[in-house]
Structure 1
Amino acid sequence: MGKIVLSGPQNVSLDGVVQDPDGVEGFERGGWFAQFGGKNLEEWNKVALQEALRAEAWLLGRRSYEFFGARWRPRTGELADRLNSMPKYVVSSTLKEPDWSNSTVLSGVVVTQVSKLKQELDTEIVVPASYRLAHADRTRPHR
């Protein structure tokens, strides 16, 4: 049985800002990751690579899927190659045709879909960022 692992940090600032960690989206408080948490990106990349190598798959909400996909699809290198090739499961009721390699959309009630996924996989299923998914209402579909 697979094990769900919430990747830390969950990309949320202490004052509750979740969106736009790299500042690309233009939010007023965007860019906080590089400003406050990403000074040593080489070390961060080493940790991220080890986590990706241990994981059997990624589990994401739609927004995090779009965020990571836009940033990692065009890249190469050990971490990018791993993320681009590993299975990705996207919990969403709005995404119909995923455009990132090895991606599968899970629609319906979150707990039901994730429970099925845990039965199908054997090791770690990492939830990177995906703040809303980590705090999802277990009885309702996820957007």
Structure 2
Amino acid sequence: MGKIVVSQNVTLDGVVEDPSGEGGSRHGGWFLQFMGQDWEAWAQLELAEAQGAEALLMGRRTDEYFGTRSATMSGEWLDALNRLPKYVVSATLQQPKWTNATVLAGEVVSEVSKLKQQVQGEIVVYASRPLVHTLMEHDLVDELRLTVFPVALGAGERLFGETSDERPLRLIHTKSVGNGLVHLTYERAREA
């Protein structure tokens, strides 16, 4: 059975919106601004995760973002991602932008539940905030990996929106990434 792993770069106050600044939000661009000297350590962490994944799961906008860049960027991390099968959750998308991608056009919970049965190993979710909300709401996330950036923005879309109930998690690993970032790994707590 597959394991859904949500992997996110996040600020101290949980903001995930517009890390690159390309979205034009007021606080956009925090990813590079607060990366500091930690780029190489962060890149090694991301490469190891990509090499350990069996598939990627994402929403339409994440497919568009990575798909349009994959043709012009290079490197070990992108090469590892390009090789992986990708599953794009979308009710409107006909043709994914990223290579080796399949559209999951049916009801999200059902499609992702089937995917977990079909894929053995880690199914990593990058970005895709609305999808993450749905997966969390329906207890489909098995593990959260958060790389925390040393800034509180005070505004912006956060990783976790309102949920119908508590979602207990258990901290299973912490790691310093370079000198300024922290990587936290949580698993879903089956019993609170």
Q: Give the TM-score normalised by structure 2.
A: 0.64
Q: Which runs of 5+ in 2 are unaligned?
A: 139-192
Q: Of 50, 61, 65, which aligns to 1:52? A: 50
State the 1:73 CA deviation: 3.3
- Compare the two structures and name the one with the higher helix fraction: 1
State the 1:111 CA deviation: 0.9
Alignment of 1:1-143 (within 5 A): 1-9=1-9, 11=10, 14=13, 16=15, 18-36=16-34, 38-39=35-36, 40-136=38-134
State the 1:45 CA deviation: 0.8
State the 1:7 CA deviation: 0.9
1:93, 1:12 → 2: CA distance?
30
Q: Which runs of 5+ in 1 are unaligned?
A: 139-143
**CA 1:29–1:13 in structure 2 vs 1: closer, same or farther (change >3 Å)?**
farther
- Asked if structure 1 preserves the Cα contact closer than 8 Å seen for 2:66 and 2:98, the reply is no
Where do 4+ consecutive residues of structure 1 move more than 6 Å?
Answer: none
Equivalent pairs: percent with the same residue?
A: 51
- Compare the two structures and name the one with the higher strand fraction: 2
Aligned residue-pair number: 135
Alignment partner, residue 141 of structure 1: none
State the 1:50 CA deviation: 0.4
**CA 1:96–1:12 in structure 2 vs 1: closer, same or farther (change >3 Å)?**
farther
State the 1:59 CA deviation: 0.4
State the 1:12 CA deviation: 5.9
State the 1:127 CA deviation: 0.8
